[in-house]
Amino acid sequence: MSRIDELFTRKQNNILNVYCTAGFPHLESTMAVMKALANSGADMIELGMPYSDPLADGPVIQASSTRALANGMTIAKLFEQIGDLRKTGSAGGLEDLPVLLMGYMNPVLQFGFEKFCAQSKKAGIDGLILPDLPIYEFETEYGNIIKKYGLDFVFLVTPETSDERIRKLDELSSGFLYAVSSSSTTGKDKNFSEQAAYFKKLKDMHLKNPVLVGFGIKDRESFQTACAYANGAIIGTAFIKALDKEGEIDKAVKNFLETII
């Protein structure tokens, strides 16, 4: 059983997945931020690989990526940093916490797709989120490589996704299904009461995978609203803002997570 499956078996509700950008706020911050998240109550970490031209990221996460790239972050550097991710004694609470890499296909293809998957497996990464990988390419070329290295792959659905396509993406996904709260970039203010019908539809579809809601989750209220309809939620922009505002990483992470859980 994968670490992601084990988490959802052990805890079906109120799963908190936190997004952080590798190499932000400083190049060598990656592991410090992840350890602080593990020790402050996060259930899962979505580690963003900075990219100069992201499709779905709002201005805050884009700015964190720009800064990380300026700091010198690369995929090769990332794998160097997370080499001891699962090493007992040095992992700092990360030994069993599910970690996914989130990013875009261009830098992954430049690095080499199979090499990327192999390095992910070696580092102890549990799954991948690559929003611009189309279904056809996943089914015909990349999916088998991802499965070869035992990685989960998470697809995204939106309120505009047809029921047929939702079921297809659920069938192809493993680990969980990422329910984007609305068709916009990250960080936009959302009125989740307006999304209730969409969230309820997903819940009533009895999908194969657990569902986590992302985009616009920023505080305890929005987190709890998402959790009323799904297995949990993903917080990104609000966390990046908090991390940027507070100088000391452990304090920033602890203080922020205390406002959510």
Catalytic residues: 46, 57
Q: Which residues contact 85 (CB under 8 A, 6 or more apart)?
A: 31, 34, 91, 94, 99, 123, 124, 125
Separation CA 88–CA 184 (nearest Å): 40
Please name every residue paired with 44 in a beta bridge, in sequence order, or none if there are none: 17
Please name every residue paired with 234 in a beta bridge, in sequence order, or none if there are none: 17
Instruction: Tell me the residue type at 237.
Output: T
Q: What is the dihedral of CA 221, 200, 59, 26, to 10 degrees?
A: 70
- Distances in Å between the alpha carbon of 225 and those of 93, 201, 222, 261? 28, 15, 5, 13
